Amino acid sequence: MDRVALRGLKARGHHGVFPREREEGQTFIVDLVLGLDTRPAAADDDLAKTVHYGIVAEEVVAVVQGEPVNLIETLAERIAQVCLKHDGVREVEVCVHKPDAPITVPFDDVTVTITRSRV
């Protein structure tokens, strides 16, 4: 399976279990790896035969900016389901970063990474 990756998609969302997270929001960063067969697109040099990563990026940002959830695990699942709706995408790895998580000790990042595929 071939892979198309999008790294560092940034969007502001209001996800989290604490009232401050819901009220003020924070930046979330999303990395995606889409698994698909790129041979048909490459053979015909045809965008319609692959995934349009610009559209995927817009849809993922809309999920992050959309309805708040408590957990980044839930956010990652919603993002994965949006990606799998695209024809040709057979598998997706989603990594959601929450660099401003409400943690009381110094840290660089919090991430949740999931892999989902068509059943």
| Catalytic residue numbers, as ranges | 98
Q: Which two three-digit tokens encode residue 52?
A: 């349009």
Rg of the chain over Cα atoms, rounded to whole angstroms, equals 15
Q: Is 114 exposed, middle or buried (0-12, 13-18, 19+ CB in 10 A)?
A: middle
- Angstrom distance (rounded) from CA 83 to CA 36: 11
